[in-house]
Structures are given as C-alpha cells and as structure tokens.
C-alpha cells in the first residue's frame, strides 16, 4: 500500500498525534463535492501545533 507521511507542524516540525488539537491554514475550495477530510487536509493544508499557533497570536 502507500506509505503516507505523518503530518508535522510547519513551524517546529513536531509530529501531529491523533486527537491532538491543531490549527490548519487552508484556502477555501473552488469546487463543490464530497472528499475524504484527512486526505484533503494532508494535501491542501499547512498544520500548526497548538503551542506554535499560540506563540504567533
């Protein structure tokens, strides 16, 4: 099967674990339709862990 990279924080490179609170930077999609959310986030989003997000705000 495919080996998928684990999502990491764009700032500190920490691995994002399951059920961890994260912030994702996304563009609003042009098209409508149904999609697998995790795949869409992995392909289109930029992840930030909670600690790094709180530093920037």
What residues make up the domain containing 18? 1-57
How many folded domains does the chain comprise? 1
Cα 9 to Cα 25, 32, 40, 52, 55, distances in angstroms: 11, 28, 16, 8, 13
d(CA 26, CA 44): 7
Taking the model in full, what pTM does it have?
0.82
- Write the pLDDT tens digit of every residue in 10-52: 999 999 999 999 999 999 888 898 889 999 999 999 999 999 9
Identify the residue with better confidence: 56 or 17: 17
Identify the residue with better confidence: 10 or 6: 10
Residues with Cβ within 8 Å of 7's Cβ and at least 6 positions away in sequence, in order, are 15, 16, 22, 41, 42, 47
Give the confidence band of 3 by pLDDT, cuts at 50, 70, 90. low
User: 38 with 8: CB under 8 angstroms?
Assistant: no
Per-residue confidence (pLDDT) for residue 1, from 0 to 100? 58
Tokens 């989003």, located at residue:
45
């Amino acid at each position: 099967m495919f080996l998928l990279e684990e999502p990491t924080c764009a700032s500190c490179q920490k691995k994002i674990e399951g059920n961890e609170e994260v912030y994702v930077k996304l563009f609003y999609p042009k098209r409508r339709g149904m999609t697998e959310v995790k795949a869409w986030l992995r392909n289109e989003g930029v992840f930030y862990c909670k600690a790094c997000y709180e530093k920037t705000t």
